[in-house]
Amino acid sequence: MFILLFWASVLFILYTYFGYPVLIRQKANKKQKHTSVPAYTEVPDEEWPTVSIVVPVHNEAHHVERKINNLREIDYPKDKLTITFVSDGSEDGTN
């Protein structure tokens, strides 16, 4: 009885560390063969969603100009993008 329990435990451990990963890898490879990635298509600006970016700042006067320039470089339709800076109680002229 103990020998059967021993070998069942050994087989279970081997399956856990070797058999199961092999099984998962085979299933992933099989699924990967059946799915294809669609080609990139250009989306018109009208179909892009509206995005709002909220930038909280507090005593960040020396960083705000650089952040504004960084946000201007975003490649996104300008009519679909809203950028809001939020400052509360700054003491260094950030407001």
Q: Which two tokens stand for residue 72?
A: 């201007």
At 81, the pLDDT band (50, 70, 90 cuts) reads: very high
**Residue 94 amino acid letter:** T
Q: What are 33-76's pLDDT values in tens digits?
A: 666 667 777 888 889 999 999 999 998 888 899 999 999 999 99
- Residue 36 has what pLDDT? 65
Beta strands in the chain (DSSP E): 51-57, 81-87
Per-residue confidence (pLDDT) for residue 37, from 0 to 100: 63
Tell me how far apart the alpha carbons of residues 60 and 71 are, in angstroms, rounded to a whole number. Answer: 16
Which amino acid makes up residue 7?
W
pLDDT above 90 covers what percent of the chain?
57
